[in-house]
Structure 1
Amino acid sequence: MIHTLSQKQRLTIVISSLLVCSGLYPQSKTKTPKKDTNPPQQNQVEVKEETPPPPTEEGQVSEKPPAQEEVDRFQDIDNKNGIVVTGSRGERRLKDSAVPTEVISRKRIEQTGARNLGEVLETQLGVNVTPSPTFSGSQVQMLGLDSKYVLFLVDGQRIAGRTNNTVDLTRFKVQNIERIEIVKGSSSALYGADAIGGVINIITRQAEKPEHYQFRATYGNGKQSNFGTQGEKNMIADVGFRNSFVAANFTGGFNQSGGYDLDPKTPSTTGNAFQDASIGGNMNFNPDGQFRVKTGFNYLNRHQQGVDSRTTGGTFDRSNATNDFLALGALEYSYGKKNLISFRGNFSRWENKYKLDQRGSDELDTKELTNEVSSQGTLQLDHEINDRHMVTAGLETFSEELESDRLRQRFAFRTRKAAFLQDEWLVTKTGVIWRIVPGVRHDLDSQFGGQTTPKIATKVDITSNLAVRASYGLGFRPPSFRELYLRFENPGVGYVVDGNDQLKPEKSRTANADVEYSPFKNWSMSFSVFRNDITNLIQYNYANRGASEFASFQLMNIQRAYTRGVELGTRVRFLKYFALELGYNHTDTKDLTTDRPLEGRALHQGNFNFFVNAPGGWEFAMRGKRLDRRPFYSNTSDFSGSSTALIDQANDPFYNQNNKVIYGKAFTLLNFRLEKKFFEGRMSAFLGVDNALNQYELTYNPIRPRFYYGGIQAQF
């Protein structure tokens, strides 16, 4: 209501307001001015009646207006109160999860300046990302275990496509990633095979606003002798809308790079030149609030080129064309507060065409096709029996088919059926909160028969600031088709690699325990220990030449091995604008058959992330990691690179393969990024440098040398 006041009335209000603010004159005694029915006169002021402050608990009016809550500049990065799905196969609050789950939010992904999943994960605590030669991209290690022991999911569902048993992290472009959830340790009780080392679940972007648009363009380059003059170009776009009935989001991207070369003196190249285009999207229908239909797809088309040079003098141009497609679908019906019945399915196809062309000759030319198809269907029930028991039960079927020129029989096919059951039991609800989560899964593989994998996890919230978790579980990983039926000859280098159809599934026993403590609101600490005991570990074993002119390597089941270690982490926010994360990982591994550490694992690893969200739209990120030296042997697990050092050592009659070890050098990775936002955050410009210290090693750490980039981003 608006009315006019006389000069005397205005003076009375001003004096009364000053007395109220000083606490000398209770507002309850202030008289409300009467409405003036006279028309406004010149120099009169219009004032609006204000709602009085709320009363206190004693019924008195508060003497001071409530202070405005301080804006949390790092809320979108921390995601402390977010919802996670990976640890329990259902939506749970992060702080309630009995399985420790690490979440990388969308805001953190943007502040890293990363182009793909590998660059996002490279400074994550307890995660080691290493480049692979040729077209394997980058791969991950967790808890001392390679990528083949880590299950990769997109929106909770399996994907197809592994090169040398490795999922290439560069396949997953950041424009379609909303967040990443990481569960370390065996998760076979819920997800079955391949989850011995843990699970990485990529959650795709969903529309949350009535409509939104986002665009980003980046250009970068480095030293001309390493990168040439072409540079690297990245463009991504994201659009979406949401209403009460349907939500849709679509993303697209284009990336092009001339690659890089760590040794310009030779004809061979290190990092591949590439060009790729990707598109993805999802549509979710929710007609009545209970029944939901979800659909989604992702498609990547990629071309890569590189050059190999051999000690024999041959030079080879290699190229690779990949089509990567994933379709997802789900039907969900919710009833009660937390109950849900769902059916989810997916279809995944990964096609890879590889060509090796010898310059000046066609004697050693190679053309290879790899076509992998998988499909999965899951029927799952989440039912709250009472306020202490939440049961998750399900049936699952999975099939995979591989066609490859590297297989002795070219085609391979198998299926796997499974049933799983888990109970989240809230033992105590007041004071000390105690949860126990037992679970079990039984898989029936068409090649390897039945496998039962139980797990039990517990979480105790001693106080609101102190929590303890522990878990113990079994896991298994059946040999891949390549491990069973591989037949690969590389005459240019001089070796042969054979699979072994007598291989047995790898099995594991995993124990984890961790403590989380937050002594203050903006300071948290974590400490965890882990141990994996693996039997029937599958690794390459050097045989001998025999009557053949080539060195021979074959996959074998090593009797026993273990990985064990500790992780320490702390996160602190200070002076409102700054956040610092520090982490240390100690990983001890051993092949108990040969009594030596597993190959390529660093004993010590440290990481840090430093973020600044300053006034005026300025944001700064500095990320880094320090990796200790890693041991390598003649029976290396990768034979697709251009380097022949390990093969040469294996062929040396004076070489003692049981004791001889070569160490990759320790190195430090350091990345910087600075961003300035404009127009209330709707546009921004950014600059960055990756591998600022320019540290790399051609054979054992062929990462990209120092690289500068800049770009712009707009969102509406």
Structure 2
Amino acid sequence: MSFVLRSIFIVCLSLSFSIFAQTKPKQNPKTPVEKTKESEAIPVEETTKVPENAGKVEEKVEATPTPAEEDHLKDLDSKNGIVVTGSRGERRLKDSTVATEVISKKRIEQTGARNLGEVLETQLGISVLPNALGGSQVQMLGLDSKYVLFLVDGQRIAGRLNNTVDLTRFKVQNIERIEIVKGSSSALYGADAIGGVINIITRQAEKPEHYQFRATYGNGRQIQFGTQGEKNMIADVGFRNPFVAANFTGGFNQSAGYDLDPSTKATTGNAFQDSNVGSNMTFNPDGKFQVKTGVFYLSRFQQGVISQTSGGVFDRTNATNDFLGLGALEYSYGKKNMISFRGNYARWENKFSLNQRGSDELDSKELTNDQSSQGTIQLDHELTDRHMMTVGFESYANELESDRLTQRFAYRTRRAVFLQDEWTAYRNGIIWRIIPGIRHDVDSQFGGQTTPKIATRLDLTSQIILRASYGVGFRPPTFQELYLRFENPGVGYVVEGNPQLRPEKSRTVNADIEYNPFKSLSLSMSVFRNVITDLIQYNFGTNSREFATFQLTNIKEAYTRGAEFGMRTKFLKYNQFELGYNYTETRDLTSDRPLEGRPVHQATANYFLLLPQGWEFALRTKWVGRRPFFSQTTDFAGASTSLIENRNDPFFNNNRAVYGKEFPLINVRFEKKFFDGRMSLFLGVDNVLDKYELIYNPIRPRFYYGGLQAQF
């Protein structure tokens, strides 16, 4: 199917003027728009270049707000904040051509989450799934974690186990905000960004001094959680002066895990213990030349019990070390221009062991050592007042050592150039922007890949914003997909890679509309379609007397398509309510059946109450429809091998699906602040309705927690 986009694009004028009204007097146009360090990269002149007939909007908003108009919920949203993911440079969220969802620091705190997975679990259009090997993984736009690119401060990370990034690696005390771009972003970021990008922005010091400490304890029913409970402690300290801004974080987490079926010796959720530290430093934070560094380290130990149908019982352990070092040199010149040099080194090491009780015949030990490095030179330069050019060169190297590879070591490099122009095509009452972009990657294994994209935005009025984009993406096979050799004699199957695999390619169309009829009400709708060719899937090969063989192959084509609807409203000064619905249809066109594990219907409803007396309440809910599962297409990253064990069942041989049940997820949290907000106590309950399913939805059962937080 060919796709033709007639694109539309814009800038939201009245919103930008409302920011002016709150941050500067009218007679001084040189006052910064926002009192944050990020705003220095975006001068006031950017928002003042508007037609004269738009000035009337400014007059209406210019009046000084009364105390009754103060937005007590503004920290939950980031409408006026800075984002970097959609354009790979600093832009105001409300002016972004590419639709970008932002989860703010305040919203993260309101979730009561301890890691990225728990933050995302009630996000519209995103599914968070348990991973059988520990932790959790993400699905977005009907696509698995392997199609989502994860960044930290805009730079790649290392460490995918079974093609998935474990969301529990990322602790909330290190996160300032989360930026999410759905749809292909390969024109800027290259490989692996077919389904979108999740960019974790780490915390930076903003005050002369700050200190924060939080301690949490939680547990559930003793029969499922045991008596040890879960303990979390985090600390965050920092300072800022005219020369340097520095932030340091640390945390300790411990849990006994959980068991959904106490009648067996097997456990469901791994017991774990981890410690993490991190630091960010920016030298000359208020000048034109800046040096930035970041170092993050996590040490984790997980353990669980596997019980197989053959009768064997195995103790499973994972010892993980996760390191990421970041560095950047940035020089700003002119009004909006910047040249930057960025680099990182990442190392993710996982030691896995399987010990059979009462025997050592099937014992195994495996090492996975994933290392990557990346360097980027980027220039952002305003050619004219209508053209903002971004051009860059990037070099990436990846090395994997693994006992599961037929050749223990694998290495590849990738070099790329990218170019993007933010073109204001029309600016007279309405504003139309068009952003063409292109990137060319040269992979040492798969040669050249060119990924163009065009995005557009049209502001019909200050209340109606239209966006659309079309992009091409690619994902080269991972080393595991090429060279994997894994045997599980206890269950009776073998999984093999395929050195003849071709890169997956995608074509993605996104379009959305935002309608803001009132300051307190926002409505949105988006549609999307992803077509993936040469899709890589596990196929059932042979079934000998001893083992069933599954091998990776390129199937012809698959697609995901759907729509999202969202509503957000603020009422009675202190209340915010959000409602969303997501429809996703998927199809493997080779076998003519849905892709496994994707729900067609999802809905979210969130309610936040922030009272001036220090009382806060958060209710986050999500409803997930049923999901199809097939034994032949399982990617072995799910929660159970039962689908593989049932491969001889006629139910599966007839190419029929078994469905995981629909379920609601409800989380609540209360908090009371004392001493002018410097100290607080909180209580929460996750999975209030205690909904889970052992095979197809092995999430944590009802869990109670409480704790205290202090900040100065």
TM-score by length of 1: 0.90
Please say if residues 130 and 638 of structure 2, whose CA atoms lie closer than 8 Å, have aligned partners that are also in contact.
no
Aligned to 2:142: 144
Aligned to 1:574: 571
- CA shift, 1:647, in A, is 1.5
Aligned to 2:9: none
What is the one-letter code of the residue matched to 1:101?
Answer: T
SS of residue paired to 2:646: helix
Please say if residues 509 and 532 of structure 1, whose CA atoms lie closer than 8 Å, have aligned partners that are also in contact.
yes
**Which residue, 533, 543, 548 being the options, matches 1:535?**
533
**Which residue, 619, 633, 649 being the options, matches 2:616?**
619
Closer, same or farther: CA 693–66 of 1 in aligned 2, 3 Å: closer
Map 1:462-611 onto structure 2 (within 5 A). 462-546=460-544, 549-611=546-608
Whose radius of gyration is greater, 1 or 2? 1
Aligned to 2:668: 672
Q: Matches of 1:67 and 1:638 in 2, distance apart? A: 57
Q: Matches of 2:293 and 2:673 in 1, distance apart? A: 34
SS of residue paired to 1:484: helix
Unaligned runs of 5+ in 2: 1-62
Aligned to 2:325: 327
What is the one-letter code of the residue matched to 1:383?
Answer: H
What is the one-letter code of the residue matched to 2:671?
Answer: E
Aligned to 2:287: 289
- CA shift, 1:312, in A, is 1.1
Please say if residues 308 and 642 of structure 1, whose CA atoms lie closer than 8 Å, have aligned partners that are also in contact.
no
Aligned to 1:420: 418
What is the one-letter code of the residue matched to 2:626?
Answer: R
1:709 matches 2:699? no
Q: Matches of 1:711 and 1:527 in 2, distance apart? A: 38
What is the one-letter code of the residue matched to 2:160?
Answer: R
Q: Matches of 1:247 and 1:270 in 2, distance apart? A: 43
SS of residue paired to 1:189: helix
Identity of aligned residues (%): 74
Tell which deviates more after alignment, 642-651 or 246-255: 642-651
- CA shift, 1:386, in A, is 1.1
Deviations 1:520-550 (A, max 9, x none): 110000000000000000010011224x511
Map 1:150-169 onto structure 2 (within 5 A). 150-169=148-167
Q: Matches of 1:288 and 1:122 in 2, distance apart? A: 37
- Count of residues in correspondence between the two structures: 650
Unaligned runs of 5+ in 1: 1-63
Tell which deviates more after alignment, 525-534 or 627-636: 627-636
Closer, same or farther: CA 410–583 of 1 in aligned 2, 3 Å: same
- CA shift, 1:614, in A, is 1.5
SS of residue paired to 2:613: helix
Q: Matches of 1:526 and 1:67 in 2, distance apart? A: 29
Aligned to 1:70: 69
What is the one-letter code of the residue matched to 2:521?
Answer: W
- CA shift, 1:69, in A, is 6.0
Tell which deviates more after alignment, 278-287 or 660-669: 278-287
Please say if residues 309 and 642 of structure 1, whose CA atoms lie closer than 8 Å, have aligned partners that are also in contact.
no
SS of residue paired to 1:637: coil
1:632 matches 2:652? no
Q: Matches of 2:640 and 2:321 in 1, distance apart? A: 28
Q: Matches of 2:428 and 2:211 in 1, distance apart? A: 46
Q: Matches of 2:482 and 2:124 in 1, distance apart? A: 34
**Which residue, 158, 173, 181 being the options, matches 2:171?**
173
Please say if residues 309 and 315 of structure 1, whose CA atoms lie closer than 8 Å, have aligned partners that are also in contact.
yes
Please say if residues 518 and 525 of structure 1, whose CA atoms lie closer than 8 Å, have aligned partners that are also in contact.
yes
Map 1:216-235 onto structure 2 (within 5 A). 216-235=214-233
Please say if residues 230 and 257 of structure 1, whose CA atoms lie closer than 8 Å, have aligned partners that are also in contact.
yes
What is the one-letter code of the residue matched to 2:93?
Answer: L
Q: Matches of 2:562 and 2:70 in 1, distance apart? A: 38
SS of residue paired to 1:544: strand
Q: Matches of 1:616 and 1:161 in 2, distance apart? A: 44
Closer, same or farther: CA 288–318 of 1 in aligned 2, 3 Å: closer
Please say if residues 219 and 232 of structure 1, whose CA atoms lie closer than 8 Å, have aligned partners that are also in contact.
yes
- CA shift, 1:288, in A, is 7.3
Q: Matches of 2:449 and 2:440 in 1, distance apart? A: 6
Deviations 1:389-440 (A, max 9, x none): 0000000000000000000001000000000000000112231111000000
- CA shift, 1:605, in A, is 0.3
Closer, same or farther: CA 65–396 of 1 in aligned 2, 3 Å: closer
Structure 1 stretches (4+) deviating beyond 6 angstroms? Answer: none
What is the one-letter code of the residue matched to 1:458?
Answer: T
- CA shift, 1:65, in A, is 11
- CA shift, 1:640, in A, is 6.0
Please say if residues 242 and 286 of structure 2, whose CA atoms lie closer than 8 Å, have aligned partners that are also in contact.
no
TM-score by length of 2: 0.90
What is the one-letter code of the residue matched to 1:684?
Answer: S
1:661 matches 2:657? yes
Closer, same or farther: CA 268–385 of 1 in aligned 2, 3 Å: same
Q: Matches of 2:98 and 2:639 in 1, distance apart? A: 41
Aligned to 2:405: 407
Tell which deviates more after alignment, 654-663 or 508-517: 654-663
Aligned to 1:298: 296
Q: Matches of 2:625 and 2:637 in 1, distance apart? A: 24
Aligned to 1:700: 696
- CA shift, 1:660, in A, is 1.5
Please say if residues 253 and 273 of structure 2, whose CA atoms lie closer than 8 Å, have aligned partners that are also in contact.
yes
Aligned to 1:42: none
Q: Matches of 2:638 and 2:193 in 1, distance apart? A: 27
1:236 matches 2:234? yes
What is the one-letter code of the residue matched to 1:111?
Answer: Q
How well do the aligned residues superpose, as a CA RMSD in angstroms? Answer: 1.3
1:202 matches 2:200? yes
Closer, same or farther: CA 287–230 of 1 in aligned 2, 3 Å: closer
Please say if residues 621 and 672 of structure 1, whose CA atoms lie closer than 8 Å, have aligned partners that are also in contact.
yes
What is the one-letter code of the residue matched to 2:124?
Answer: L
SS of residue paired to 2:449: strand
SS of residue paired to 1:543: strand
Please say if residues 636 and 646 of structure 1, whose CA atoms lie closer than 8 Å, have aligned partners that are also in contact.
no
SS of residue paired to 2:482: helix
Deviations 1:358-417 (A, max 9, x none): 011100001000000000000000000111000000000000000000000010000000
Deviations 1:171-225 (A, max 9, x none): 0000000000000000000000000000000000000000000000000000000
What is the one-letter code of the residue matched to 1:503?
Answer: L
Closer, same or farther: CA 567–287 of 1 in aligned 2, 3 Å: closer
Aligned to 2:338: 340
1:94 matches 2:90? no
Q: Matches of 1:348 and 1:658 in 2, distance apart? A: 45
Deviations 1:591-618 (A, max 9, x none): 0001100000000000111000013100
